[in-house]
Amino acid sequence: MPAPSRFQLTSDLSICRILNGMWQVSGAHGAIDPVRAVDAMLAYHDAGFFTWDLADHYGPAEDLIGDFRRRFAASRGAERLSEIQAFTKWVPYPGRMTRRTVEDAISVSRRRMGVDRLDLLQFHWWDYSDRGYLDALRHLADLRDEGQIRHLALTNFDTERLRIIADDGIRVVSNQVQYSLIDRRPDARMAAFCGDHKITLLAYGTLLGGLLSEKYFGRPEPQRSELNTASLQKYKNMIDAWGGWKLFQELLTVVNGIAEKHQVSIANVGVRYVVDRPAVAGVIVGARLGIAQHLADNVRTFGFALDDGDLRLIEAVLVKSRDLMTVIGDCGDEYR
């Protein structure tokens, strides 16, 4: 992998800028064979994609990390286990957050993943009216300081809550948010705040569940029955809110032209655009383990750069779209 594929997230953590997303093993994208999945995980790692994004509620994702680590230690050597980075999430139901509640949850993730310390724990909270999220974060910060967590991060928090957390003195290193050519809400407020507070962004939804690809270029608007994964359904709704299928096809036409110019794929252009945005550390690309992989294509993301002419062409389409900050609200508001 070329040098631009890495990002220094913290002084002691250098990540791959394309993270392998494991939402696809949760059951909402079809069945996954665990043996073939771990075979694929070894192939991803060997290709240089060594950073994984998962969650406690992504079905067997944490267990797969544990199986992967055991297979890796047996075949590559236990001394190399530090090469694997697995960033999980804790997504509790709102309620009273005691030290015992928080520590028990983290202990489950550590056991499932087969680690003494979580590399990065990304915390999500559903209901801002319940300020228990601050109690949970204070306990998580204590666990970090005690060595059970290496770094503390967030998932789908908005800018206002980021400010509250920062003002409370809780140090987080990243926030995971939806970020793509059609969803540029982080540009409005969050990127600037993160830049001022040494917080980076991990972007998901960048390829719109696969809709941002040659497969859907020049194609009539798909019927709901054709959208057979949770990702396709979710991001088709996002396209509708953004400006609709006709405008999306206009965007695909421009992106396809840019891709042909650089001899890359539409997906490469979509990822490159977001990777280059201020405050972005990496982009999470879903991995359908044991079913489909795009390793060679993903590598090409780091072999070209978008020039000013490319960006002007893209902006000429994006300016026609609706403002999703007005339609939806700040990052993560779609979940509340």
Per residue, the 3-state secondary structure of 52-86, as one string, reads EECCCCCCCHHHHHHHHHHHHHHHHCHHHHHHCEE
What letter does residue 172 receive in the DSSP assignment? -
User: 217 lies in a domain?
Assistant: no
Segment 283-316, tens digit of pLDDT: 999 887 767 678 889 999 999 999 999 999 999 9
Structure confidence at residue 230 (pLDDT): 87
Whether residue 247 lies inside any domain: the answer is no
Does a structural domain hold residue 229? no
Does 127 fall in a domain?
A: yes
Q: Mean pLDDT score of the chain, rounded to an integer?
A: 95
Domain span at residue 147 reads 3-209+265-305
Residue 23 within a domain: yes
pLDDT category at 336 given cuts 50, 70, 90 is confident
Q: Which residue bears the tokens 């088709």?
A: 236
Q: What is the pLDDT of residue 109?
A: 98
Give the CATH number for residue 30.
Answer: 3.20.20.100
| 111 occurs within a structural domain | yes
Per-residue model confidence (pLDDT) at position 289: 78
> Is pLDDT above 90 for 204?
yes
Q: Which residues pair with 283 in a beta bridge?
A: 18, 203
Contact 104, 56 (CB under 8 A): no
Residue 286, helix vs strand vs coil: strand
d(Cα 203, Cα 27) in Å, to the nearest integer? Answer: 22
Q: Is the pLDDT of residue 211 over 90?
A: yes
Q: Tell me if 193 sits within 8 A of 163, measured CB to CB.
A: yes
State the amino acid at position 235 in one-letter form: Y
Q: What is the mean pLDDT of residues 22-51?
A: 88
Q: For the chain, how many structural domains are there in total? A: 1
State residue 294's pLDDT score. 80
